[in-house]
Amino acid sequence: MKKNTLWRVVTLILTSFFLLANDFEEKFTNIESMHFDTIDSLFPGDIKCLPQPVYGHRHDGRPGREINISFEGGKIYNKAQIQVEVNGLAEITKLTPPDSGFSSYTLLLPENVGVEKEASVILTLIQGNKRLNKTVIVPPMRHWDLYLYNHAHVDIGYTNTHKNVEILHKTNIIEGIKLAKATKDYPEGSRYRWNPEVTWPLERLWHSMPGERENVLNAIREGQLCVDANYLNLNTSACSDEEMFHAFRFSREMQKLTGKPMDVFQQIDIPGISWGLVPVLAHEGVRYIMSWPNRSRAGNAHEGIDNHPFWWVGPDGKSKVLFMQPDGYANSGSMTKGRETGRPWFGQRDVTKVPVVIKTGSANVDFTE
């Protein structure tokens, strides 16, 4: 009797368990179905497409015009596709949104679309059996290659003592090399490079920290540290002929040790360069001048010269260098950002209190303006 009663109890418990499990599964399935039905109901009612004045690198490595797509009246939560039709071509981009969904998406058009002439592009958003079409007129815009010159301006004595400026710029070189090494496996064009701007910080590091010499030479050979020819941002009108030649002594030494040409004369913040420097540059194998005068105390240094490269012929009538002056230095918004992030350490006499790396967050400069 007791045995039969025990089996009845066990059977009752198991039956109850399976009934509860089935009921839970049915309810969960209904909730899950409701969840996806809700997500599907949030499919956008419209899409807004805005061509951008920039090109990005597509997965195939080619440049493609950017189109910003905003999903109006909904979000993309599940997998979807955007079909591009232009010039008889059709291309599919697959969307895999995060859990929070896509409210917008940046699409790269096929290569050469909207480069030389206006293009009519049909964009179709596809998700399941739902579709949204939009025709976008893409105005023509040529390709531009943007070259970044990563550097810290060498301005000895203006914001700190000579010794402290030396320490800060030597640290910049070491940290710049570290960042270049950390990005050495990035795609070509996105690997970090550091430019000391002039060779004075590098010379000071070379003599005061001999243990870093091989690191420096290897970084130069690998293109991670890019060295220009000038020693300092000099007032060349106050230099003797001999001093002009000595300004290139250390860069010639580095050039010989690494086999890397150092043939660009960077002049930053100083308005104007003496004419007599041209034959000196030609003699030293320096072929290019990149001039970035300041704006506030430059006199006529910008008149008729900015963005007009020319061959500058020396007083001997034979030597020449290619001269380029884009504009004043710090013209990309970097001064504003520098004031925001660097101000707490301006003039700090105790360099141990200055962070080795100051992170400024994301770039906030629109280079297309």
Q: Decide if 218 contacts 259 (C-beta within 8 A).
A: no
DSSP per position, 178-212: HHHHHTTTSPTT-S--B--SSSHHHHHHHHH-GGG
Domain membership flag for residue 94:
yes
CA 273 to each of CA 247, 250, 298, 321: distance values in angstroms, whole numbers, following the listed order: 14, 20, 12, 12
Domain membership flag for residue 359:
no
Residues 201 and 340 in one domain: yes
Q: What average pLDDT does the chain have?
A: 85
Res 36: pLDDT:
43
In tens, the pLDDT along 321-359 reads 999 998 877 766 666 666 676 667 777 888 888 888 777
pTM for this predicted structure: 0.71
Distance CA 281, CA 319 (A): 9
Residues 86 and 184 in one domain: no
Residues 233 and 113 in one domain: no
Give the number of domains in the chain: 2
Residues 235 and 317 in one domain: yes
Domain membership flag for residue 16:
no
Domain membership flag for residue 368:
no
Q: What percent of the chain has pLDDT over 70?
A: 82
The answer, yes or no, to whether residue 93 has pLDDT greater than 90, is: yes
Residues 170 and 133 in one domain: no
Q: How confident is the model at residue 224 (pLDDT cuts 50, 70, 90)?
A: very high
Res 184: pLDDT:
95
Which of the residue ranges 3-7, 224-228, 315-319, 325-329 would you say has the lowest mean pLDDT? Answer: 3-7
Residues 178 and 320 in one domain: yes
Residues 85 and 172 in one domain: no
Of 138, 170, 203, the position where a domain reaches its end is 138
Residues 275 and 340 in one domain: yes
Res 300: pLDDT:
83
Non-local (6+) Cβ contacts of 12 within 8 A are none
Q: Tell me which of 37 and 138 has the higher pLDDT.
A: 138
Distance CA 154, CA 356 (A): 17
Query: Which tokens sit at 315?
Result: 């007083």
- Dihedrals phi, psi of 50, to nearest 5 degrees: -125, 110
Domain membership flag for residue 5:
no
Q: Which range marks the domain in which residue 228 is found?
A: 162-353
Q: Torsion over CA of 329, 335, 336 and 339, rounded to 10 degrees?
A: -170
In tens, the pLDDT along 240-284 reads 999 999 999 999 999 999 999 999 999 999 888 999 999 999 999
Residues 131 and 202 in one domain: no
Res 23: pLDDT:
57
Residues 178 and 130 in one domain: no
Greatest CA separation found in the chain? 124
Residues 188 and 306 in one domain: yes
Domain membership flag for residue 358:
no
Question: Could you give the angle at which helices 200-208 and 213-221 cross, rounded to 10 degrees?
Answer: 140
Res 338: pLDDT:
65
Query: Which tokens sit at 309?
Result: 């490269």
Res 5: pLDDT:
60
Domain membership flag for residue 326:
yes
DSSP three-state, residue 259 = coil
Q: How confident is the model at residue 161 (pLDDT cuts 50, 70, 90)?
A: confident
**Beta-ladder partners of 105:** 69
Task: Output the domain CATH number for residue 346.
Answer: 3.20.110.10
